[in-house]
C-alpha cells in the first residue's frame, strides 16, 4: 500500500464526483430551455444516486469479479463483499474500497451523459428504471471486457480511462434513446436556444477541471504516468477548443462561447482512451482533429438526418469517443507508456485493428442493449411524457419546482395547481 497513491486516488474520485454534480448538471442544465432546468439536473443527480446503489449491490461484482469465460464477472463482490482495506485486486497499491468507489463514480457519470440525448421529454419513471437496468446489462459487461480482464482486454484493446466503456457506449445509447422516444415538439419548426450560457460555461469549466481526476485517476497511482495524463488531457482539450473556434470563425464568421467550450469537451473525450498511452504532441493532434469530427457530426449529419439528440451526447461523446479510440491505435507508443503496445505510427498496425474491434463492440452493445432495455421499460410505463406536460415543461408539469420564479412561470404553476385541485375534487 502506498499513501501517496491512495491520496491521489481519493482526490481523483472526488473530482469525478464533482464532474457529475455540479459539472454535468450545470453543463446540461444551462443548455436546455428554462422550462426543463430542474428536470435535466435531476437526471444527472438521480443517476448518481441510483447507479451508486446498483454498483455497490451488484454492478461492481459483474465488472470486476472473477471472469466467466472473459464475458462477465462473477458474484465475488456482491454488496461489496470482500471489498476492504487490502490492496485492490491483489496487485494495486491502493485500498480495494477506494478502487471500487472510483469505478462507482465512473459508472454513474456514464449513465448521466445519456440523459443529454433525451432531455425535456423522457418520463421520470422511465429514467429511474433505465438507470438501474442500463449499467447492469450494458455498462457492466463492457467494463468487464475492457478493464476487468475480459476478452477485449485479453485481445489487447487499449482504453486508458473510458473511450469505449464510457463515451462511445453512452453516446450511442443516447442516440438510440433519442430515436426511440422521438424528437421534441417543435424541434424542426422553432429554434431551441440555451437558456443560460453562464451556467453552461461554469459546467464546462467544472468538467475540464474534473477531467484531470477522470483521466488521471485511471493511472491508479501517482507518478510519471499520472503526470503524463495531466499534460495530454489539457493539451487535447485546449487544441480542440482552438480548432472549434477557428472552424466557426471561418464558416460562420464568428466564434461562439458555446461552440468553443463544446470543442474543449470534444477534445477531452477524444484523449480519454489514450491519455496514458500517447505523447503530448500526439494529444495535440488528437484534440485538433476531434473538433471537426464533432462539429460536422452536429452541424451536418444531425441536420441532414433530422434526429433530435437534444444536447449532442452522441455528436460529442459518441463521435469523439470513436475518433479517440481509433487514434489510440495510431499514436500509442511504449516510449511513454508501460502497456507494451505500440500503435500504427510506431510499427504496430495490429493495434489499430484491436481498437476498431473495441469500437464496433461498444457501438453494437450500446445499440442492441439500449433498444432492448427501452422496449422492456415501455411494457410497464410510458417512455415519453404527455404532450401537454412537455409543452408546459417538466419542471412545472412533473416536479412542480421551477428553476426561476418568473411571473410567467408562477402563472403557469398556479394554473397547473388549480387544474390539479379541480381534478381531485
Per-residue DSSP letters for 171-231?
HHHHHHHHHHH-PPTTTTTS----S-HHHHHHHHHHHHHHHHHHHHGGG-SSSHHHHHHHH
Tell me what pLDDT residue 186 has: 76
Quick one: pLDDT at residue 340?
A: 74
- Has residue 150 been placed in a domain? yes
User: What burial class does residue 405 get, using C-beta atoms within 10 Å of its C-beta: 0-12 exposed, 13-18 middle, 19+ buried?
Assistant: exposed
> What's the structural domain count of the chain?
1
Task: Report the pLDDT value the prediction gives residue 425, as an integer from 0 to 100.
Answer: 40
Average pLDDT over the chain, rounded to whole?
94
**303 confidence band (pLDDT: 50, 70, 90):** confident
Instruction: Check: CB of residue 149 under 8 Å from CB of residue 91.
Output: no
Question: Dihedral of the CA atoms 97, 165, 368, 53 (nearest 10)?
Answer: 20
> Is 277 inside a domain boundary?
yes
Q: Is residue 400 part of a domain?
A: no
Q: Do residues 143 and 87 make contact, with C-beta atoms less than 8 angstroms apart?
A: no
Helix (DSSP H) and strand (DSSP E) numbers for the chain: 20, 2
In a domain, 96, yes or no: yes
Q: What is the distance between the alpha carbons of residues 357 and 380, in angstroms, rounded to a whole number? A: 35
298 — pLDDT class (breaks 50, 70, 90): very high
* Cα–Cα distance, 374 to 130 (Å, whole number): 7
Domain assignment present for 369: yes
pLDDT in tens, 160-184: 999 999 999 999 999 999 999 999 9
Q: Helix, strand or coil for residue 90? A: helix
State how far the Cα of 318 lies from the Cα of 150, in Å rounded to an integer: 22
For 164, 231, 303, 304, the CA distances from 188, given in Å and listed in that order, are 31, 41, 9, 12
Q: Which helix (H) or strand (E) segment is 72 a member of?
A: strand 72-73
Domain that holds residue 46: 3-201+214-378
Where does the pLDDT of residue 192 fall: very low under 50, low under 70, confident under 90, or very high at 90 and above?
A: confident
**pLDDT recorded at residue 234:** 98
Per-residue pLDDT tens digits for 223-271: 999 999 999 999 999 999 999 999 999 999 999 999 999 999 999 999 9
How far CA 208 is from CA of 77, 293, 334, in Å, comes to 32, 20, 27
Residue percentage of the chain with pLDDT more than 70: 94
Does residue 421 lie in a domain region? no
Q: Residue 424: its pLDDT value, please?
A: 45
CATH code at position 278: 1.10.3430.10
Confidence class of residue 120 from pLDDT cuts 50, 70 and 90?
A: very high
Q: How many CA atoms lie within 13 A of 320 on its CB side?
A: 34
Structure confidence by residue, pLDDT tens digits, 385-425: 999 999 999 999 999 999 988 655 556 555 555 555 455 44
Q: What is the mean pLDDT of residues 301-314?
A: 92
Q: Does 424 reside within a domain?
A: no
Contact 376, 134 (CB under 8 A): no
- Is residue 373 assigned to a domain? yes
Amino acid at each position: 500500500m502506498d499513501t501517496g497513491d491512495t491520496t491521489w486516488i481519493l482526490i481523483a474520485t472526488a473530482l469525478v464526483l464533482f464532474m457529475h454534480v455540479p459539472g454535468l448538471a450545470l453543463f446540461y442544465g444551462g443548455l436546455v430551455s428554462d422550462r426543463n432546468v430542474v428536470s435535466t439536473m435531476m437526471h444527472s443527480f438521480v443517476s448518481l444516486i441510483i447507479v451508486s446503489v446498483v454498483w455497490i449491490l451488484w454492478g461492481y461484482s459483474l465488472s470486476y469479479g472473477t471472469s466467466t469465460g472473459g464475458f462477465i464477472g462473477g458474484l465475488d463482490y456482491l454488496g461489496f463483499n470482500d471489498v476492504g482495506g487490502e490492496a485492490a485486486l491483489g496487485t494495486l497499491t491502493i485500498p480495494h474500497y477506494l478502487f471500487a468507489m472510483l469505478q462507482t463514480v465512473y459508472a454513474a457519470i456514464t449513465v448521466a451523459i445519456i440523459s443529454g440525448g433525451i432531455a425535456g421529454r423522457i418520463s421520470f419513471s422511465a429514467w429511474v428504471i433505465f438507470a438501474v437496468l442500463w449499467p447492469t446489462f450494458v455498462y457492466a459487461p463492457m467494463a468487464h471486457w475492457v478493464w476487468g480482464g475480459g476478452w477485449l482486454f485479453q485481445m489487447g484493446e487499449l482504453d486508458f480511462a473510458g473511450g469505449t466503456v464510457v463515451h462511445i457506449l453512452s453516446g450511442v445509447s443516447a442516440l438510440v434513446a433519442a430515436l426511440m422516444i422521438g424528437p421534441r415538439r417543435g424541434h424542426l419548426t422553432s429554434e431551441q436556444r440555451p437558456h443560460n450560457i453562464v451556467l453552461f460555461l461554469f459546467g464546462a469549466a467544472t468538467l475540464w477541471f474534473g477531467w484531470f481526476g477522470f483521466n488521471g485517476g485511471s493511472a491508479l497511482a501517482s507518478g510519471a504516468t499520472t503526470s503524463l495524463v495531466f499534460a495530454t488531457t489539457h493539451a487535447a482539450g485546449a487544441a480542440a477548443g482552438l480548432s472549434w473556434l477557428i472552424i466557426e470563425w471561418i464558416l460562420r464568421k464568428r466564434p461562439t462561447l458555446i461552440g468553443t467550450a463544446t470543442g474543449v469537451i470534444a477534445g477531452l473525450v477524444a484523449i480519454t482512451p489514450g491519455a496514458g498511452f500517447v505523447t503530448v504532441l500526439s494529444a495535440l493532434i488528437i484534440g485538433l482533429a476531434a473538433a471537426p469530427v464533432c462539429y460536422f457530426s452536429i452541424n451536418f449529419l444531425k441536420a441532414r438526418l433530422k434526429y433530435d439528440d437534444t444536447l449532442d451526447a452522441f455528436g460529442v461523446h459518441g463521435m469523439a469517443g470513436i475518433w479517440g479510440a481509433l487514434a489510440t491505435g495510431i499514436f500509442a507508443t511504449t516510449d511513454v507508456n508501460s502497456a507494451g503496445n505500440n500503435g500504427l505510427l510506431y510499427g504496430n498496425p495490429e493495434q489499430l485493428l484491436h481498437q476498431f474491434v473495441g469500437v464496433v463492440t461498444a457501438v453494437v452493445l450500446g445499440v442492441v442493449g439500449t433498444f432492448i432495455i427501452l422496449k422492456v421499460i415501455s411494457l410497464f410505463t410510458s417512455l415519453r411524457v404527455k404532450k401537454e406536460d412537455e409543452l408546459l415543461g417538466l419542471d412545472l408539469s412533473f416536479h412542480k419546482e421551477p428553476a426561476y420564479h418568473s411571473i410567467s412561470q408562477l402563472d403557469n404553476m398556479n394554473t397547473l395547481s388549480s387544474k390539479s385541485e379541480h381534478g381531485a375534487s
